[in-house]
Amino acid sequence: MTEYKNTKYQIRLPIVLCLGLAAGVFIGASLTSRKGSGEVGKDVQKFRDVLTHIQNEYVDTVNSGVLLDDAINHMLNTLDPHSAYIPAADRLAANEDLRGNFDGIGVEFNIFRDTIVVVSALSGGPSEALGIQSGDKIIKVDDKILAGIGVTSADVMKALKGPKGTEVNVTILRRKEKIDYKIIRNKIPQYSVDVGYMVDSEIGYIKVNRFAATTFDEFHESLKSLKEKGMKKLVLDLQGNPGGYMNMAIDMADDFLSTGKKIVFTNGKEKKYNSDAMSTARGEFEQGDLIVLMNEGSASASEILAGSLQDNDRALIVGRRSFGKGLVQSPFDLSDGSELRLTISRYYTPTGRSIQKPYEDGDEYSRDIISRYNHGEFFHADSIHFNDTLKYTTPNGRTVYGGGGIMPDYFVPLDTTLNSHYLNELYTSTSIQEYTFGYAEANKEQLVKKGFDHYLKHFSVTDQMLANLVKVGERNKIKPDQIELRNKKRLFQVHVKAQIARKLWGNEGFFPVINDTNEIFLQALKLFDRIPAELDHTKM
């Protein structure tokens, strides 16, 4: 098992990470055989005999490698939902999101009417250095034409991504001019903190989309920057965050907790998989009011962070019940380069809660989110019933529950008025992206000159703009729904305004606009005055 000396915590912790809802939390390890494994040896021999008979005697020719992979997957599926087998060919892609960077040419792109359009050249990447611009159309990569052939995002990624230092030839159409670029691929940063901005003179907002290798550094910089701008209160948004490296969640929790507070602990069959994480010296934001946003898509490392802050009476959790992922996996290297991710322990919040939801019925586990919706949990907090045997008490006397996710301190029902099938179709057909990209390009000079603050306060999406959006949708074979457009006009206006802002100012422009449709965020802003009473029941 790989370990490291963590000088910050002054304890020996396994290296842990979580790869989202499918994979979960990990502890670094290597595959070793335990002594006294005679019974395992007999079982392995039986399996080898069966495989040999199939290969030699079966009536048809079979691929023994495929049979073996299927057998491994079936075997793991009988254990729990998060133990998994990753073939060697898929291993790099499976871990890429957590590395904090990838190798490529450094462009954000979209596909409009079967044409790859550069939305932006990423800062510090090779494409920006060569002068590739927003609006450029990628029509050819090496010797392959990529325009007008039904190209998909996966096709583009496969063509443009590759190891650092390798060369790719790209042909760009800029207006009517074709330009050939020879691009040397390089490391391109991926950011797990989407944005940090001031909501008003005192309240800051940070959105974390996953817990990757660089998350704590990104978060810490955002936190310090907001404090310099006068932040006294913070909204930490973990909605839809599927997890990531566990030590990133621990580091973030330590920024909010005073010395000596338990953050999380793990217990397994083997003592080597047991660990405790405690907060240390003064963090960056131990005193200010804190609200954490969660929903049914918040899982694993997100639940570790939220659970530690809830159990220590440090934060108010606002939103809906989280996913319920409390199993710890360890990655084991296999001889052919594939990887086994095996559940080896459970993690617990400081009060001793296991928030792993039941998984004995695998089919029910996979349908859990749909079942919650159908049961009414997304709309009514009282539809959730917890077993009293899973009741726990925080130091300040607040009641919290284990047995399936983190239940928020303040429940916010799902607002169905913020959903629109027509808006979804405009997104999936990239019609809204195409229209807002074109509008931003055509009006960039005057909008940027006035600045984002002016745009946020004064820019309005007109009826004519919505009519033009409808026309773009029709070109992309999306049938207009004028009734829905009329009844949910403000929703469409917010999304168009947010997408234009994203094209001009990135996430710093997008989130302050789109959060007007974030019902959990809007409710959280009203709760800061209630934090002292909510978090300290000893003074009620």
Catalytic residues: 300, 311, 325
Single-letter residue type at 25: V
Q: Which two tokens stand for residue 217?
A: 């550094």
| b/e sequence 13-29, b meaning 16+ C-beta within 10 Å | bbbbbbbbbebbbbbeb
Single-letter residue type at 201: S
Q: Which of 435, 414, 432 is nearest to 422 (CA)?
A: 432
Dist CA 518 CA 248 (whole Å)? 26
Helix/strand/coil for 449: helix
Dist CA 404 CA 509 (whole Å)? 36
Neighbour count for residue 200 (Cβ, 10 Å): 10
Q: Which two tokens stand for residue 15?
A: 């290296």
Single-letter residue type at 506: G
Dist CA 233 CA 85 (whole Å)? 43
Dist CA 399 CA 409 (whole Å)? 10
The separation between CA 67 and the C-alpha centre of its own chain, rounded to angstroms, equals: 33
Q: Which of 437, 425, 478 is nearest to 110 (CA)?
A: 437
